[in-house]
C-alpha cells in the first residue's frame, strides 16, 4: 500500500521507469524534461511539471517516421541522450539517431513544448559530413553564438568536442575540437554548458552508465577553455561498495538548472537495484538540490550523494509528491494514449483501435517474432513500479501457427511471455521464458472460453503469471508459473542494454492468414 505522501519531500526516482539521460529546460514556472528512447517509437518523451516532483507526460518530440527512422536499429540503438534548450521563444531538442542513414546528430524545434516538432535538421561538419559520437548539446551564448558539443575523440582519447554551429543549416562553423577530457574517469560524455556569474561551466558524466557513474564539472572564463576541473569532482556519485537491494546506483548524466525561485537543482538518471547489484527497470530520473560553495562550485545534496528521500526547499517546500498512478485502457479512443510505445516503426495495418463496437485493440501477427529485431506486432508500456499487476482481457481464436499474448519484455533475448496459441485444434495458454540462448516453455493450459484474462503480478524479485476465464457459472484461474526479475536485468544481458522492462501485448504468426487477437482492455496497477 502506498503511504500518504508527505509535503516537502523528494522521493527518488521522481520519474520512475525507463526514463534515462534526462535533460531539463524551464519556461517561467513550467519545467519540461526529455529522455532517451532508443529503438522505441514514438521517440523522446516529454514530461511537464510545475513543482519538480509531480511529472506528467505531455507528448513525444519524435512522433513521425520522417523524424525517426528506426528500421535498422538493433537493440539499445536508435535515439540516445537528448538535450532540451529554449532560445528566443523556440524550443530545441537535439539528439542522435545511431541507426539513421541520413546523419547522426539532429535537432527538431517547435514554438511550443506540446509540439508538433519540426522535421530533423542534421548537424554536419563544415564539409557537410556527418559527425560521430553521442550526447549532443546546444548552448546559446550571450553574444548570439550557438555552440554544439558532443562526445569526441583525439590523440588523448575520449573527450567533449565543441564547435560553433549555424543552427539554420546545422553546419558547424569550425572543426569540432575537444575542450575537456574530464577528470580521468572512463567515458567522459553527456556534456552541458552553462553561463553562470561570468563563468562557462561544463558539466559531464563519467565512469560509464553503471556502478561508478558520476557527474563532474569544470569551468572557464572563455568558452573554448582552458577548463579548470572542480577540486571536489565528482560532484555527484554513489559509493557502490555498499549496494543494498533497493538502493539507488549508477547516478550520472544530468542537467543543472536554476528554478524560478532562484534555487538550484540537478536532474540525473540512476537505477534502483532489485536484488543485490541487479536492476531491471532501466535508468530512472532522479532529482537533487544544488547549492554553491564560496568558490563558486556547485555542491549536490550537501554530500555529493543522491539520497532516496531529500527535503525540498524554496518555492517547492510545500509540494506533495503524489504516487505515480496506474492506468486502464479499453482502446476506445481513435488514437493511442501516451502510455504506449511500438518497437521500431510499426506497420499500423496490423493494429486496429476501436476494433469491436468502438472499443478494443485487434492485433494481427506477422512472421516477425519476439525473439527477433525489426518490428514485431507489439504494443508496450514501461514497468514503472517494482510491485504492480497487469491484467489483460482478451478474445482470440487462433489458427495453427497463430500466437498472441502478454509479455514482460526487455530485449529479444530476454522476455517472459504468456502465449496463447492453438495446439491440435485447441486453444491453449502457456508461459515461455527466453533468457539469452535458453528457451523454456511451461505446461499447456486448455482455455475453453473464447474470452479470457491474462495476469502478471510483479514484485522486486519475481513475476507471477496466470490465466483466468469463466467456466460454467464460475471463474477458473490457473497459475502458469513465475520468472525471476534477475534474468531480465541489465546485468544479465550479454550485450549493452540501456533500456528497462516493458509490459506489452503482442501477436505473431507463422500462418499466411493469421487470426486477429482482440485485447478489450489493459490495466496496469501499482501495488
Ligand atoms: C548515453 C550516455 C550514457 O549516450 O548512456 O549514461 C548512453 N550515459 O551518455 C546511452 O543512454
d(CA 186, ligand 1 centre) in Å: 12
Q: pLDDT tens digit string along 13-45?
A: 999 999 999 999 999 999 999 999 999 999 999
Q: Is the pLDDT of residue 414 over 90?
A: yes
Which sequence spans correspond to the domains of the chain?
23-181, 327-526
The residue contributing the CA closest to ligand 1 atom 9 is 190
Q: How far apart are CA 85 and CA 108, in angstroms?
A: 11
User: Cα-flanking dihedrals φ and ψ of residue 424, to 5°?
Assistant: 55, 40
Ligand 1 pocket test: which of 18, 38, 209 has the largest number of ligand atoms within 8 Å of its C-beta?
Answer: 209
Say if residues 8 and 311 touch (Cβ distance below 8 Å). yes
The string of pLDDT tens digits covering residues 159-191 is 999 999 999 999 999 999 999 999 999 999 999
pLDDT confidence tier of residue 5, bands split at 50, 70 and 90: confident
Rounded Cα gap, residues 416 and 488, in angstroms: 9
- With a 6 A CB cut-off, is 38 part of the ligand 1 pocket? no
Rounded CA gap, 165 and 126, in Å? 9
CB 517 within 8 A of CB 362: yes
481 band by pLDDT with thresholds 50, 70 and 90: very high
Question: H/E element holding 441?
Answer: strand 438-441
Ligand 1: does its nearest atom lie under 6 Å from the Cβ of 279? no
pLDDT exceeding 90 applies to what percent of the chain?
A: 93
What digits encode the pLDDT tens for the residues 242-299? 566 668 999 999 999 999 999 999 999 999 999 888 999 999 999 999 999 999 999 9
Tell me the pLDDT band of 241, cut-offs 50, 70 and 90.
Answer: low
160 ligand 1 Cβ < 6 A: no
- The values of phi and psi at residue 433, to 5°, are -120, 130
Predicted local confidence at residue 276, as pLDDT: 81
Task: Give the Å distances, CA to CA, from 335 to 58, 112, 164, 475.
Answer: 15, 21, 41, 33
Is the CB of 97 within 6 Å of ligand 1? no
Among 254, 282, 498, say which to mutate for ligand 1: greatest number of ligand atoms within 8 Å of CB: 498
Q: Is the pLDDT assigned to residue 419 strictly greater than 60?
A: yes
Please give the CATH topology (third level) of the domain spanning 327-526: Jelly Rolls (2.60.120)
Q: What pLDDT score does 277 carry?
A: 83
State whether the beta carbon of 252 lies less than 6 angstroms from ligand 1. yes
Cell of 347: 506497420
Q: pLDDT tens digits for 58-71? A: 999 999 999 999 99
Q: Please tell me the distance from the alpha carbon of residue 405 to that of residue 325, in angstroms, as a whole number.
A: 24
Question: 44 is written with which cell numbers?
Answer: 523522446
Model confidence at 1, in pLDDT bands (50, 70, 90)? Answer: very low
CB of 170 closer than 6 A to ligand 1? no
The preferred substitution site among 18, 22, 23, 36 for testing ligand 1, maximizing ligand atoms within 8 Å of CB, is 36
pTM value is: 0.97
CA distance 100 to 97: 6
User: Per residue in 67-94, pLDDT tens?
Assistant: 999 999 999 999 999 999 999 999 999 9
pLDDT at residue 52 greater than cutoff 90: yes
Q: Which atom of ligand 1 is nearest to the CA of 76?
A: 10
Average per-residue pLDDT in the chain? Answer: 96
Cα 81 from chain centre:
10
Residue 73 beta carbon below 6 angstroms from any ligand 1 atom = no
State the closest ligand 1 atom to the C-alpha of 252, by its place in the atom list counted from 1.
6
Which pLDDT tens digit goes with each residue over 421-464?
A: 999 999 999 999 999 999 999 999 999 999 999 999 999 999 99
pLDDT average, residue stretch 98-118:
97
CA of 486 to the centre of ligand 1 (A): 22
Catalytic positions are: 21, 189
26 forms bridges with which residues in the sheet? 31
For residue 16, count CB atoms less than 10 angstroms from its CB and return exposed for 0-12, middle for 13-18, buried for 19 or more: buried
Q: Which residues of 53-73 are buried (b: 16+ CB within 10 A; e: fewer)?
A: bbbebebbbbbeeebbbbebb
190 lines ligand 1 (CB under 6 A): yes
pLDDT in the model for residue 302: 82
Per CATH, is 23-181 categorized as 2.30.42.10? no
**379 CB under 6 A from ligand 1?**
no
Q: Render pLDDT for 317-356 as a digit per residue (tens, 0 to 9).
A: 999 999 999 999 999 999 999 999 999 999 999 999 999 9
Closest CA to 185 of 137, 237, 227: 237
The number of beta carbons lying within 10 Å of the beta carbon of residue 476 is 15
Q: Is residue 234 predicted with pLDDT exceeding 50?
A: yes
Nearest CA to ligand 1 atom 10: 80
Alpha carbons within 13 angstroms on the beta-carbon side of residue 419 total 24
- Gap from CA of 261 to ligand 1 centroid (Å): 30
Distance 123 CA to ligand 1 centre (A): 19
Closest atom of ligand 1 to CA, residue 209: 6
**Ligand 1, from 34, 134, 136, 249: best to mutate by most atoms within 8 Å of Cβ?**
134
Q: How many Cβ atoms are within 10 Å of 247's Cβ, its own excluded?
A: 15
76 Cβ closer than 6 Å to some ligand 1 atom? no
User: What residues are paired with 442 via a beta bridge?
Assistant: none
CA 344 to chain CA centroid, Å, is 14
Question: Cis omega (within 30 of 0) on the bond before 92?
Answer: no
| DSSP states of 448-484 | -SSEEEEEEEE-SSEEEEEEEEEETTEEEEEEEEEEE
Amino acid at each position: 500500500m502506498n503511504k500518504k505522501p508527505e509535503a516537502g519531500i523528494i522521493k527518488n526516482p521522481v520519474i520512475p521507469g525507463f526514463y534515462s539521460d534526462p535533460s531539463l529546460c524551464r519556461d517561467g514556472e513550467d519545467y519540461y524534461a526529455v529522455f532517451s528512447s532508443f529503438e522505441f517509437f514514438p521517440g523522446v518523451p516529454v514530461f511537464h511539471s510545475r513543482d519538480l516532483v509531480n511529472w506528467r507526460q505531455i507528448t513525444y518530440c519524435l512522433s513521425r517516421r520522417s523524424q525517426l527512422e528506426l528500421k535498422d536499429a538493433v537493440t539499445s540503438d536508435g535515439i540516445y541522450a537528448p538535450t532540451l534548450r529554449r532560445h528566443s521563444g523556440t524550443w530545441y531538442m537535439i539528439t542522435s539517431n545511431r541507426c539513421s542513414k541520413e546523419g547522426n546528430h539532429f535537432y527538431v524545434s517547435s514554438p511550443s513544448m506540446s509540439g508538433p516538432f519540426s522535421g530533423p535538421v542534421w548537424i554536419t561538419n563544415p564539409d557537410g559530413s556527418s559527425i560521430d559520437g553521442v550526447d549532443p548539446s546546444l548552448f546559446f551564448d550571450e553574444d548570439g553564438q550557438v555552440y554544439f558539443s558532443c562526445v569526441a575523440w583525439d590523440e588523448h582519447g575520449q573527450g567533449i568536442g565543441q564547435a560553433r554551429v549555424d543552427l539554420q543549416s546545422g553546419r558547424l562553423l569550425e572543426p569540432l575540437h575537444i575542450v575537456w577530457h574530464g577528470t580521468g574517469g572512463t567515458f567522459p560524455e553527456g556534456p552541458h554548458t552553462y553561463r553562470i556569474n561570468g563563468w562557462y561551466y561544463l558539466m559531464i558524466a563519467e565512469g560509464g552508465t553503471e556502478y561508478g557513474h558520476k557527474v563532474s564539472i569544470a569551468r572557464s572564463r572563455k568558452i573554448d577553455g582552458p577548463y579548470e576541473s572542480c577540486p571536489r569532482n565528482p560532484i555527484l556519485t554513489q559509493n557502490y561498495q555498499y549496494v543494498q537491494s533497493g538502493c539507488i546506483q549508477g547516478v550520472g548524466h544530468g542537467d543543472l538548472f536554476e528554478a524560478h525561485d532562484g534555487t538550484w537543482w540537478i536532474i540525473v538518471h540512476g537505477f534502483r537495484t532489485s536484488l543485490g547489484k541487479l536492476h531491471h527497470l532501466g535508468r530512472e530520473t532522479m532529482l537533487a538540490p544544488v547549492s554553491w560553495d564560496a568558490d563558486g562550485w556547485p555542491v549536490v545534496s550537501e554530500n555529493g550523494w543522491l539520497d532516496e528521500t531529500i527535503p525540498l526547499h524554496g518555492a517547492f517546500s510545500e509540494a506533495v509528491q503524489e504516487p505515480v498512478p496506474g492506468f486502464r485502457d479499453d482502446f476506445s479512443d481513435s488514437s493511442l494514449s501516451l502510455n504506449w510505445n511500438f518497437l521500431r516503426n510499426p506497420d499500423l495495418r496490423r493494429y486496429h483501435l476501436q476494433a469491436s463496437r468502438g472499443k478494443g485493440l485487434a492485433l494481427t501477427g506477422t512472421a516477425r517474432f519476439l525473439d527477433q529485431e525489426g518490428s514485431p506486432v507489439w504494443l508496450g508500456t514501461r514497468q514503472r513500479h517494482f510491485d504492480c499487476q497487469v491484467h489483460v482481457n482478451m478474445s482470440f481464436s487462433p489458427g495453427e501457427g497463430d500466437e498472441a499474448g502478454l509479455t514482460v519484455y526487455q530485449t529479444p533475448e530476454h522476455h517472459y511471455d504468456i502465449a496463447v496459441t492453438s495446439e491440435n485444434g485447441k486453444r491453449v495458454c502457456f508461459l515461455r521464458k527466453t533468457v539469452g540462448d535458453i528457451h523454456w516453455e511451461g505446461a499447456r493450459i486448455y482455455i475453453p472460453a473464447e474470452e479470457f484474462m491474462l495476469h502478471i503480478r510483479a514484485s522486486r524479485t519475481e513475476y507471477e503469471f496466470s490465466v483466468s476465464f469463466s467456466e460454467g457459472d464460475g471463474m477458473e484461474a490457473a497459475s502458469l508459473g513465475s520468472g525471476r526479475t534477475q534474468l531480465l536485468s541489465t546485468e544479465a544481458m550479454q550485450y549493452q542494454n540501456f533500456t528497462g522492462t516493458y509490459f506489452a501485448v503482442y501477436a505473431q504468426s507463422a500462418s499466411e492468414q493469421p487470426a486477429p487477437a482482440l485485447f478489450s482492455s489493459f490495466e496496469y496497477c501499482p501495488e
